[in-house]
Amino acid sequence: MNIKFSFDYLNPLFALILGLFLVNFSERVALREGKGWDGVTFVYYSQHFDSLASNRLINAKIEEPKLTLTHKINRFFPSMVAHYALRTAQIPINTPNIIEAFAYYQVFCLVLASIFIGIIGQKFDLQEKNKWLLWCLLLCNFAVIKRSFYEPALTDLTAICLGIGLIAAWSVDNWKGTVGLLVLAMIGAFTWQPITIYAYFLLFFPRNIKLIEEKNQYLNWFFPLFFGGLFLYKFLMDYEAFGVRIFSNAQEMHFGQVPVYQKALFVSAGLASLFTAGYFGFLLKNCSFKNLIYFIKPNIIFRISFIFILYFAVNYLNSLVAPVGTSLDPTSGAVAGTASAAVQNPFGILFSFMYSPLALHSPLEFVIQHAAFFGVSFVIATFFYPKFTEILRKEGGIGFILIFLVSYASSMLNPQSRIGTALFPFITFLAVLLIDRQNWRKELYFLLILVNIFASKIWLTIGDFTDPAFSWVRWYSSFGLWANLRSVVINGFMFVLLGGILWIVIYKNLIMNYLTKWKIFTKK
């Protein structure tokens, strides 16, 4: 019997080999006995999970010598897995073993993500080469195979895995997919909050709900002008009321962050306003008000019931481990933010979704740093954005549009790319779907993977730094809020260069046609 060793068989195996290699040979942070920064909280959760859960203190303020650990959102799921894995194996639950358990748990996430990628490839009928490309762009970047194993006691890779899982479950589009969305959303509520919010949208707008599009010249001009102008208006209001101080203070959340580059503040605001105009203009292009018909269809009752089931299940699970009186509403952060903003200004609800002073740290640093953190998918999404959003509307529909709308200020505009971890799988998936549907030449694939490795700094040797003064230039060159001006300029130059090369290669025929039309070149 002939056995075909296709992507579906090999990619989980490659993920396992890659993960085991990284566990044994990759760099590890030495700070705080290998806990790193946020890892202090998650190691503490894992070490004391029984007492914290039994006393309902998972979501409480925990005091430890020289450290105050506070997490508004329960992100204890990976810590719980590490805790019970060690207990089951009868291994002492101490700091070195917990960190090692987290490292092997990251391997499990890599393998599970690979299985999800296989499902996505099948359901969207991707070419074999594009399945491999999706695997490479999702898993072979700084965020996954550098950061997640350098500082293993984190929840980031779990969030990426869950994000990929949401796309896979949504693509199945039957009762199994709905159950999958519910399960992933409940895990996400205790790992990375936006996962649950995204699941709300995907449950409400399944894959079989198609977006109704119709050309409307007035609306297509209104959206970019409105959102771009609103961003600029909010900036000018903040600047007039508080001066440059509000933008500087926005960067001082942690010791060691680089102050805002004041000389470029107005340039940053202008570019961010144009970026906002393009983002919303193309995202909402040709969207028809006829889509509101969906809200009066009979099957909407079932979709609403799924959302209520998820809402109450998450809060019930939270009540078992959290202090009395604390609730875990997966929308509470967004609702509280928009309500507070709406009280201050009639446009407050819009400002909360499409404006952030963090975007003005330095010119377009947010999107530049995303490419340095996550890889080439952000370069593709930026330089091919009109086609990217066309694929988003056609293949992702209303659910994907809502995800990109609510994630703009919190994820896209934040130069600390890690905040956008949950959105990253959606951007990468759509970037590869664009490549698949446009049937890019196979010669480009080596270039794309090479650019991904180079741009996202997988090759970067960090070194064994333990100085608590946050002085790691190499490490922070991939983190917007800590990156110095030199790092930002270098990242920006490479971003434009790589994106420009891709754009020229893809649209070479188009450029040659124009040159021929202008009689600069002549056809042979």
pLDDT at 62 over 60: no
Computed over every residue of the chain, the mean pLDDT equals 82
pLDDT for the residue numbered 75: 83
Distance of alpha carbon 407 from alpha carbon 401, whole angstroms: 10
39-48, 291-300, 394-403, range with the lowest pLDDT: 291-300
Distance of alpha carbon 177 from alpha carbon 303, whole angstroms: 13
Q: Are 482 and 470 in contact (CB under 8 A)?
A: yes
Phi and psi, residue 287, nearest 5°? -70, 130
Residue position matching structure tokens 């056995």: 3
The secondary structure element, H or E, covering residue 109 is helix 95-123
Start-to-end CA span in the chain (Å): 53
| 156 or 452, greater pLDDT | 156
Q: Are 249 and 357 in contact (CB under 8 A)?
A: no
pLDDT at 418 over 70: yes
Q: Are 368 and 457 in contact (CB under 8 A)?
A: no
| 498 band by pLDDT with thresholds 50, 70 and 90 | confident
In tens, the pLDDT along 77-93 reads: 999 999 999 999 999 99
Phi and psi, residue 214, nearest 5°? -150, 140
Task: Report CA dihedral (226, 229, 230, 231) to the nearest 10 degrees.
Answer: 130
Whole-model pTM: value is 0.89
Q: Are 324 and 56 in contact (CB under 8 A)?
A: yes
In tens, the pLDDT along 137-185 reads: 999 999 999 989 999 999 999 999 999 999 999 999 888 999 999 999 9
User: And the tokens for 1?
Assistant: 């019997």
Task: Give the largest CA-CA distance in the chain.
Answer: 80
User: How is 87-108 classified by DSSP, letter by letter?
Assistant: HHTT---SHHHHHHHHHHHHHH
Distance of alpha carbon 406 from alpha carbon 390, whole angstroms: 18
pLDDT at 428 over 90: yes
Q: Are 189 and 328 in contact (CB under 8 A)?
A: yes
Instruction: Please report, for residues 136, 341, 372, 430, the alpha-carbon distance to residue 457 in angstroms, rounded to integers and kept in the order given.
Output: 14, 38, 7, 22
Residue 436: strand pairing partners: none
pLDDT at 350 over 80: no
Amino acid at 163: G
In tens, the pLDDT along 378-396 reads: 999 999 999 999 999 999 9
Q: Are 488 and 495 in contact (CB under 8 A)?
A: no
Phi and psi, residue 344, nearest 5°? -75, -30
CA atoms within 13 A of residue 328's CA, in its CB half-sphere: 34
Q: What percentage of the chain exceeds 90 in pLDDT?
A: 39
pLDDT for the residue numbered 337: 40
Residue position matching structure tokens 């990375």: 192
In tens, the pLDDT along 204-256 reads: 888 888 888 888 888 889 999 999 999 999 999 888 887 776 666 554 444 55
Phi and psi, residue 210, nearest 5°? -95, 145
With the C-alpha atoms ordered 290, 296, 301, 304, is the resulting torsion angle positive or negative? positive
| 464 band by pLDDT with thresholds 50, 70 and 90 | low
Nearest to 278, CA basis, from 216, 218, 224 = 224
DSSP helix, strand, coil percent of the chain (3-state; round to 5):
70, 0, 30
Nearest to 315, CA basis, from 305, 329, 325 = 329
Mean pLDDT comparison of 13-22, 30-39, 405-414, highest-scoring range? 13-22
Report, as an integer, the average pLDDT of 463-479. 61
Amino acid at 255: F
pLDDT at 199 over 60: yes
